[in-house]
Amino acid sequence: MREEEESSSWFARWEEQLPSQEELMPLSQTLITPDLAIAFDIPVATGAAPPGANQNPGLSLHHLPASSRPPPHSDPESDLNSAAAAAGGDEPARTLKRPRLVWTPQLHKRFVDAVAHLGIKNAVPKTIMQLMSVDGLTRENVASHLQKYRLYLKRMQGLSGSGGGGPISAADAATDQLFASTPVPHHFLSRGSVAGPEPFLPYMPVAALQHHQQITAAMQQQQQQYYHHRNLGHYGSPTGGGGFDHAFPNPAVPHSGMHQMVGPAAPPGMGFPPTTLVDDLEPAKRGGNGERKVLTLFPTGED
């Protein structure tokens, strides 16, 4: 077995970024509202997570080598897992319509990481989904997102180098928002699928991820059902003007009234806010049309 010093850097980071069970579990608990529990038929122990009782887990970043991963202890909270599992394909969620998934920057990041580590070749919806191990995520979710992401990548390549290629439509620029939040790994932008084998291992950190990750996409979904957003507030990107601005380096997007994404804009050295469970601050008085509340969770991980 040979090792590349380069590889160690990436997967070291990968591991570090991974929220540990200790971190995720309590968060998940906290994030699960009574509503959710009920809707999902989660046996949420009565008073297991009383609102307001936010106990913050000590943030201990111990990065465990994949080889030394501690076996999953019997966690009483494991049922949270089944919560989404139930929603996913076991329980009577089969015929039920799944609410739209919200791709938070964090979620997207996981996505990008997964793709990056899989290599373009293996980065197909199913695999990505598995690697991400986000509970409640469906292949279709990923496929859809992947499709868009690919378009985004193409767009980027397209205009890099050409001084005045195609004008970026406002729609495009606007939709890039999410994607701009996560730096695109270098080799992504290289020409079409590289036929050669990935410079790095085919798979491996899978084991690390394979563990039940408690990021339940289902939680988001449950809260949304459908919703809508009427928010015009864009930063300078004229539709057909001459000045296309580049994607912002960071998602410190001061949205006017957009549903709050957890602010990954956290300063380096400082962790994320304790429990950034933010809900829409706007009492839905936009245009007057029924707007659904949107909750965006995911205080997990930052840049």
Partner DNA sequence: CGCCCAATAT
Partner DNA sequence: CATATTGGGC
Give contact residues for DNA (rule: CB under 7 A).
97-98, 100-103, 123-127, 139-141, 143-148, 150-151, 170-171, 174-175, 177-178, 226, 228-229, 232
Nearer to DNA, 78 or 175 (CB): 175
Tell the smallest beta-carbon distance from residue 82 to DNA (Å).
Answer: 21
Nearer to DNA, 177 or 223 (CB): 177
Q: Give the Cα separation of 272 and 302 in Å (integer).
A: 7
Tell the smallest beta-carbon distance from residue 37 to DNA (Å).
Answer: 22
Nearer to DNA, 86 or 253 (CB): 253
Tell the smallest beta-carbon distance from residue 223 to DNA (Å).
Answer: 13
Nearer to DNA, 26 or 301 (CB): 301
Tell the smallest beta-carbon distance from residue 101 to DNA (Å).
Answer: 3
Nearer to DNA, 32 or 101 (CB): 101
Tell the smallest beta-carbon distance from residue 142 to DNA (Å).
Answer: 8
What is the DSSP annotation of the chain?
Answer: ----HHHHHHHHHHHHHSPPHHHHHHHHHHH--HHHHHHHT----TTSS-TT--PPPP---PPPPGGGPPP----GGGHHHHHHHIIIIISTTSSSPPPPP---HHHHHHHHHHHHHHHHHH--HHHHHHHHT-BT--HHHHHHHHHHHHHHHHHHHHHSS-TT-SPPPHHHHHHHHHHHTSPPPGGGGSSS---SPPSS-SS-THHHHHS----BHHHHHHHHSS---------S--SS-S-PPPPPSS-----SSPPPPP-TTPPTTS---TT--EE--S-S-SSSS-----EE-------
Nearer to DNA, 54 or 144 (CB): 144
- By residue count, the chain amounts to 303
Tell the smallest beta-carbon distance from residue 72 to DNA (Å).
Answer: 27
Tell the smallest beta-carbon distance from residue 260 to DNA (Å).
Answer: 14
Nearer to DNA, 212 or 259 (CB): 259
